[in-house]
Amino acid sequence: MNIIWTEKYRPNDFSDIYGQESIVKKVEAFVKQKNMPHLLFVGPPGIGKTSLALVIARVLFKDMWKQNFLELNASDERGIDIIRNKVKDFARTRAIGDVPFKIIYLDECDALTREAQQALRRTMENFTQTCRFVLSANYSSKIIDPIQSRCAIFRFKPLDKEDMIKIIDNIAKQENLKVEAKAKEALFEVSSGDCRRTENIMQSCAAISQKITEDIIYSLASMAKPKELREALEMAIDGKFVEARDKILDVMLKYGLSGTDAIKQIQREILNLSTNNKNKMILTEKCGEAEFRMNEGSDEFIQLEAFLAQVCLVGK
C-alpha cells in the first residue's frame, strides 16, 4: 500500500464527516445560501477541521474548487510577508463561477506571529466582497480578539468511540482488512479521538498483516497495553516495590517507551486501581509532579522509581 490514507479517505461531502453533526449542519446552511461569514475552527488535531474546509470548497465551487480555494499552513509560513503578498494577491481577485467570493483556508493560524495576525485582520476587513477566510487553530486563546470578533467560531470535539468505530469499519471494508473487536478498542485508546492518527496506525498495521490485532497496534503505536501498566501499579500498592520497578522497566523496553510516555499512560490507569478516591487523588498529584520534573530535564527512570515509591507508601 503506497498511498497516504489520510488523503484517500478525506470526505467529499458533508455526510462523510463524522462526530461534528451540529457544526456541519450550520456550515451546510451557509453553503446552501452561497453566503457565509469568516469562519474559525477550533479544536485538537485530527478531528475534521481541514476536511470540513475542503468539503465547503468542493460543494460550493464543484469542479472549479481548486481555482477558488487557497490553502496555507501557517506553521510553515508564519511571517507578515505571507499575509501581505500571497494572501492579499489571492484575495483581491474575483472568484471564477457563480459564487461571489473565493475561500482562503489558513491552517494552524494560531502559529502566526502577532504582527501577521494584525495584517490578516486588515486583509479580512478590506476584501470581504471577494474573499472569505476559514481559519483553523488548536487554541483560540492564541488568536487575537479582533480576528475572533470577525469570525463565526466553531469548537470541534474529539471523536467519540462510536464515530471512530464507524470510520475504522469503513476503511477496513474498502481495504479488505479484518480488524478484531479488541483492536478497535485499542485504536480508539491509542488515538484519543484523533482520526488522522487512527488512519496512520491502521496503514502501518496493514503493511504487516491484513488481520489487525491488539498486539500489532500497541507495538506500532509505541504504547504499552493498559493491563500491563495496571499490573505494575497494583504490585506497588501491595508493597512489592522491586517487582513493580522491574515490571515498568520491562514494559518500557518492550514497547520503546520514554518516561514521559509511560507516566502519561500511568496517569490514565490510576483511576482504574482498586483503591479509594483519596489515594487516587494523591497519586494523580504525584503523577503530575513526576511528569513536570521529566519535562524539566530530570532523569526519567529515577522519577518513575520515585513515583512507584509514592504508590507503595499510599498503599500502606
Show the 3-state SS of the chain.
Answer: CCCCHHHHCCCCCHHHCCCCHHHHHHHHHHHHCCCCCEEEEECCCCCCHHHHHHHHHHHHHHHHCCCCEEEEECCCCCCHHHHHHHHHHHHCCCCCCCCCCEEEEEECHHHCCHHHHHHHHHHHHHCCCCEEEEEEECCHHHCCHHHHHCEEEEECCCCCHHHHHHHHHHHHHHHCCEECHHHHHHHHHHHCCCHHHHHHHHHHHHHHCCEECHHHHHHHCCCCCHHHHHHHHHHHHCCCHHHHHHHHHHHHHHHCCCHHHHHHHHHHHHCCCCCCHHHHHHHHHHHHHHHHHHHCCCCHHHHHHHHHHHHHHHHC
CATH of domain 226-315: 1.20.272.10
- Give the pLDDT confidence of 241-280 residue by residue, as tens digits: 999 999 988 888 888 888 888 898 898 888 888 888 888 8
Residues β-bridged to residue 69: 103
Where, residue-wise, is CATH 1.10.8.60 in the chain?
A: 161-220
Where, residue-wise, is CATH 1.20.272.10 in the chain?
A: 226-315
State which fold the 5-155 domain adopts: Rossmann fold (3.40.50)
State which fold the 161-220 domain adopts: Helicase, Ruva Protein; domain 3 (1.10.8)
Of the given ranges (71-75, 294-298, 311-315), which has the lowest mean pLDDT?
Answer: 71-75
Mean of pLDDT values over 230-247: 89
- Give the pLDDT confidence of 147-205 residue by residue, as tens digits: 999 889 999 988 888 888 888 998 888 888 899 888 898 888 888 888 888 888 888 88
Where, residue-wise, is CATH 3.40.50.300 in the chain?
A: 5-155
